[in-house]
Amino acid sequence: MIRVLAVIGMLGLNAAYAVDEIMPMEHHRDMSMTDTRISLNLSGKMKRHQLADMRDHLAAINDIVGLMAGNRYAEAAEVAHDRLGLTPQMQKMCNMLGNEKATELGLAFHRSGDDLADALKTQDVGKSLSALNKTIQYCVACHAMFRQ
C-alpha cells in the first residue's frame, strides 16, 4: 500500500490532499498507539473472508499500476472492473458488514472501481490516475474509520 502511494506520489498526484474531501485530516494522520477506530465485530469466518478480499484488492491495485506502466490499459480496465468493481459478490459482502457507514463506504468504493475501469478504457493517463486516486481514497478512508 505504502509503495503504491509512493508511486502515485512520484507521478505528481497529491493523494493526501484528495483524501481530505472524504475524511478530516486528524483521522488519517493519527499514528498514536490507541486504536480508536470503530470495530465491525465480524465473526471468525467473515473476518478471514474479508481479509482475503482485502489482500486481493491490494493485489488488484498493484496489477493496475503495473499494467498502466506497460501501457496495457484495456487489461487494467478488466482488472478494475472484475476485481474492484461492484460485482454481486462484493455487493453482498458490503451488505454484511453490519455497519451502515461501512456498507456505504464499501459500495461507493466498488462503484469507484467501475469508474476506474471506465477511465482506463479511455487510455488517458491523467483521467486514469485521478480515478485510481479516488479509489485509493476509499481504501484509506475506510481503514482510518474501521477495524475488524
- Residues ≥6 apart with Cβ < 8 Å to 59: 83
Cα dihedral 49→51→54→58 (10° resolution): -130
Cα of 45 vs its chain's centroid, Å: 22
Query: What's the closest the beta carbon of residue 128 comes to ligand HEC, in angstroms?
Result: 15
Considering only residues 5 through 34, tell me which ones interact with ligand HEC, judged by CB under 6 A.
none
Query: For residue 2, which amino acid is it?
Result: I
All three cell numbers of 78: 478488466
All three cell numbers of 95: 451488505
Among 7, 11, 102, 125, binds ligand HEC (CB under 6 A): 102
Query: What's the closest the beta carbon of residue 134 comes to ligand HEC, in angstroms?
Result: 11
Cα of 105 vs its chain's centroid, Å: 10
Computed from CA positions of residues 71, 72, 74, 77, in that sequence, does the dihedral angle turn out positive or negative? Answer: negative
The residue range among 14-22, 24-32, 69-77, 103-111 that interacts with ligand HEC, by the rule CB under 6 A, is: 103-111
Query: What's the closest the beta carbon of residue 126 comes to ligand HEC, in angstroms?
Result: 20
Residue 109 binding ligand HEC, by CB under 6 A: yes
Rank residues 29 and 143 by Cβ distance to ligand HEC and give the closer one: 143
Rank residues 73 and 138 by Cβ distance to ligand HEC and give the closer one: 138
Considering only residues 43 through 62, tell me which ones interact with ligand HEC, judged by CB under 6 A.
51, 54-55, 57-58, 61
All three cell numbers of 101: 457507514
Residue 134 binding ligand HEC, by CB under 6 A: no
Q: Which residues bind ligand HEC (CB under 6 A)?
A: 1, 40, 51, 54-55, 57-58, 61, 102, 105-106, 109, 135, 138-139, 142-143, 146-148
